[in-house]
Structure 1
Amino acid sequence: MRVTPNCCEPLSSPVIPPFCCNRRVSVEYDYEMIDPSRWETRERGVWRYRELLPEVKEIVSLHEGGTPLIRAKLSEELGFEVFIKDETRNPTGSFRDRLVTVAVSYGLPHAENGFVVASNGNAAASLAAYSARTGRPAYTVVPCLVEEGKLNQITAFGARLIRYGESVDEGISYAEGLADGKGLYNITPESNLVGLEGQKTIAFELWEELSPTHVVVPTGSGSNLYSIYKGFVELLRIGAIEEVPKLIAVQAERCSPIASEVLGTEPRVEPTRALALYVRNPLMKELALKAIEGSGGTAVLVGEDELDLGQRLLAREGVFAEYASSVIVPALLKLAEEGYFEGDDRVALVVTSSGLKGQYSESRERFSLGGTKLDILRLIGDGEMYGYEIWEALKKPLKYQAVYQHLRELESMGLVEESRREGRRVYYRLSEKGETFLVNMGRLFLKS
């Protein structure tokens, strides 16, 4: 493995950043020496392709990869071949297990104090499991908006759960700070390219089983889209394929920073029920756009009212997917209706995560709300207030800036909302959901 282009200064740690000295960094191999025929006799899974993965002293594995490829019944209706790559069959139920097995195996010699990741849920749940195997601590930084099932996985595996910010974007720098302060190995893909080498094995498996003409990928940060593209480019470089399949990025209409740039529409960065796709400022955006352009692909936007349809149609195929994965079916139908596909096309739909992860639920908020947030809700319940006023009323030893962080998190949960502004003062009030929350939980939370 080599890292190119070489940075102007040697990397001070085994963490490989996406950019160095204002230049894009890439992990590459001696492609002329790769013989893919060697893979044929090996056990299915991520490490089947070890010649195109970073060298490690010890493999930490839960038998990830080698996931099923299922011919969809939709093929008959649409008139071309459609296959479902079911990543829900990975050990913790998502494609992120491919990332984590490589990142943890590579980082293990440098993780005496443990690992850290910023994640909107799946990578955090995966790290929690793989760290448990190593016996090393895992620190997971996840946003306030996250599905309950993912939180249950994280805590069940014994990882440290840190709730920070509304979306995963805010947690990336926080995780980097934890890594520096506690001496942790950071596997966040926006901070360390190593794990993406594991995700690209989706492309290798699709090539071996299908050789698709198109690959439809749910897209939040863009890391999986780019990983799959890199995998196909490497297959091209070793002479296994003659052309990279067209990659189709699918985003929610409410959060579309990547797809909107491809489609020339106004981007939106609002919360969506497809929470794993809620990435407001994707740091992998440039790489994702490179994957779409380099493959001759496109992007599709899916509305909130189409998420249930996507989930139901996948369920009819025998696959239970979370909303963030379910977007691929409405996207497929839209493109088919536009005549995008031809009769001899072979389309792969990548289902990234299981519906068993669970939807975001108000019940989880009852356990994630700390005492200060509850006090703020109680104060605002008596009448609208602004941040500094709340800070004075709390009479607690905390900085007033912390109150604004609590307000942002309560707002992201839908419990408070802005009521009015007077100059620079922003007044907050309880939302309808917040009022209901306080009424339902009043006997428990209003005791003091």
Structure 2
Amino acid sequence: MDHVTTLACPLCGETYDPEQVIYTCPNHEGVTGILEVEYDYDVIDDRFDADLDGDIPDQWKYRAFLPVAEDAEIVSLGEGGTDILDAPRLGAELGVEMRIKDDGRNPTGVLKDRATSVAVTKAKAAGRDVITCASTGNAAASLGGYAARGGLDCRIFVPDDAPEGKLAQPLVYGADVLGVAGSYDEAYDLSLEVTEEFGWYNRNAAINPFQVEGKRTVGHELAEQTRDDCPDWVVFSMGDGCSIAGGWKGFREFADLDYVENTPKMLGVQAAGASAIHDTFQNHDDIAEVADTLADSIAVGRPRNTLKACTALDESGGDSVVVTDDEILAAEATLGRTEGIYAEPAGAAPIAGIRTARQEGIIEAGESVVAVVTGNGLKDAESAMRAAGEVERIDPNLGDVVERYGE
């Protein structure tokens, strides 16, 4: 990996060999010293075909940017290359020029597939037979699928309240799914303990430095897809903070290399019951550590990538907002009703966030916005029913239909 120069601690500046399996800087307690992957961009520029024609078959178009060896066996299900769609009806309702980057179209239905492909590729290259993570559901499903694809054993730790629909996926993929009697944060802590005990490869995007690197391909794609019409804003929901950090890093890299001229401002959206990154960015004194939101994919009480997320918001000149669960459900229904896009609650949270940002004057009328939908609505059918309402029951006769729709 001659294009990867080092793993650096953003807190103390200590550097580590990128070929070793290491997650955090040992100079700091817990997981505060999450490492940053640094690159030789001259090497990357020489290897990358910068003919940005908008044809993106999958995220491995950007292999020159990804922290894998040239001879590595890539484990892929065709992740990335998701469409960016005009959303004029939604835009008219929100008062902005609207587009949607629908990453719910990834192989297991979630943006996390970008990171998981890199994780399983790295695990195989390191000679590990078992890969693990903690998850509220999406990372579990993603890791189960890619571990099966790569021939690795997969052991996943989930909290008690993880949606059953999301757990069906990793079970079908053959993963061991262990329900932890506690919160996501407790499941997460346990996954770190077993990693130390057994030497399994840990895919947790919150600490594994290579996971943000996989997620940054969504930023590369956004930069390429909007190179002639850079949006004023790109909007992500935030849980651990990895997706917005990766998206910004990828977009910024393309600008730094002069592949595109401009960069957008980033808007981070959190649920009111899990707002630690927002509270930190806004310099609030009281930061709760217990998550309470139906948007399980962003239900993180103690985000591990707060620093990287806040850096993305700051460097881009962006901002953050919080939205209620009711606003998230309303946004899920609005996105489906106006544009035919089915998003899980965390995937719909950016739409609620745009509405809030418009009300607060953060996003001005007529500005151009791209919202990144991070997960498909099939992940959480129960919340979708809460958002859209119940099925209307009728008798099997024409009269009931005429009564409902006739003049």
- Matched residue, 2:327: 306
Distance 1:227 1:10, change over 3 A: closer
User: Of 21, 24, 27, which aligns to 1:15?
Assistant: 21
Deviation of the 1:219 alpha carbon:
0.6
| Correspondence 1:26 to 2:32 | no
- Matched residue, 1:46: 59
Deviation per CA, 1:168-210: give whole Å up to 9, x if none.
Answer: 2222332222223333211112231112211101111111112
Distance 1:242 1:4, change over 3 A: farther
| Secondary structure, counterpart of 1:65 in structure 2 | coil
| Secondary structure, counterpart of 1:321 in structure 2 | coil
Deviation of the 1:100 alpha carbon:
0.5
Equivalent-residue separation in structure 2 for 1:9 and 1:46 (angstroms): 28
Deviation of the 1:43 alpha carbon:
4.8
Equivalent-residue separation in structure 1 for 2:79 and 2:372 (angstroms): 16
Contact 2:131 2:200 in 1 (8 A): yes
- Matched residue, 1:58: 73
Equivalent-residue separation in structure 1 for 2:297 and 2:161 (angstroms): 9
- Matched residue, 1:257: 276
Task: Give the alignment of 1:338-353 within 5 angstroms.
Answer: 338-342=360-364, 345-353=367-375
Equivalent-residue separation in structure 1 for 2:206 and 2:346 (angstroms): 19
| Secondary structure, counterpart of 2:152 in structure 1 | coil
| Correspondence 1:173 to 2:173 | no
Deviation per CA, 1:388-440: give whole Å up to 9, x if none.
Answer: xxxxxxxxxxxxxxxxxxxxxxxxxxxxxxxxxxxxxxxxxxxxxxxxxxxxx
* Aligned-residue CA RMSD (Å): 2.4
Contact 1:144 1:164 in 2 (8 A): yes
Contact 1:15 1:191 in 2 (8 A): no
Q: In terms of mean alpha carbon deviation, does 141-150 or 232-241 score higher?
A: 232-241
Deviation of the 1:10 alpha carbon:
5.2
User: TM-score w.r.t. structure 2 length?
Assistant: 0.82
Moved over 6 A (4+): none
Unaligned runs of 5+ in 1: 362-448
Distance 1:145 1:359, change over 3 A: farther
Equivalent-residue separation in structure 2 for 1:131 and 1:337 (angstroms): 44
Deviation of the 1:332 alpha carbon:
0.7
Deviation per CA, 1:195-251: give whole Å up to 9, x if none.
Answer: 221110111111111232211111111111111121122123212234432111111
Task: Give the alignment of 1:221-370 within 5 angstroms.
Answer: 221-265=240-284, 266-268=286-288, 269-316=290-337, 317-342=339-364, 345-359=367-381
Contact 1:246 1:295 in 2 (8 A): yes
| Secondary structure, counterpart of 1:358 in structure 2 | helix
AA in 2 matched with 1:201:
T
User: Of 127, 141, 148, which aligns to 2:143?
Assistant: 127
Equivalent-residue separation in structure 2 for 1:274 and 1:77 (angstroms): 23
Unaligned runs of 5+ in 2: 384-407
AA in 2 matched with 1:171:
A
| Secondary structure, counterpart of 2:370 in structure 1 | strand
State how many pairs are aligned. Answer: 361
| Secondary structure, counterpart of 2:347 in structure 1 | helix
Equivalent-residue separation in structure 2 for 1:78 and 1:8 (angstroms): 46
Deviation of the 1:328 alpha carbon:
1.3
Deviation of the 1:20 alpha carbon:
4.9
Deviation of the 1:267 alpha carbon:
3.6
Equivalent-residue separation in structure 2 for 1:117 and 1:310 (angstroms): 30
Between structure 1 and structure 2, the one with the greater Rg is 1
- Matched residue, 2:404: none
Deviation of the 1:159 alpha carbon:
0.1
| Secondary structure, counterpart of 2:235 in structure 1 | strand
Distance 1:319 1:124, change over 3 A: same
Contact 1:87 1:94 in 2 (8 A): yes
| Secondary structure, counterpart of 1:194 in structure 2 | helix
- Matched residue, 1:385: none
- Matched residue, 1:209: 225
AA in 2 matched with 1:45:
D
Contact 1:236 1:243 in 2 (8 A): yes
AA in 2 matched with 1:108:
K
Contact 1:172 1:190 in 2 (8 A): no
| Correspondence 1:102 to 2:118 | yes
AA in 2 matched with 1:48:
K
Contact 1:31 1:237 in 2 (8 A): no
Deviation of the 1:66 alpha carbon:
0.6
User: TM-score w.r.t. structure 1 length?
Assistant: 0.75
- Taking only the aligned residue pairs, the percentage that are identical comes to 34
AA in 1 matched with 2:341:
V
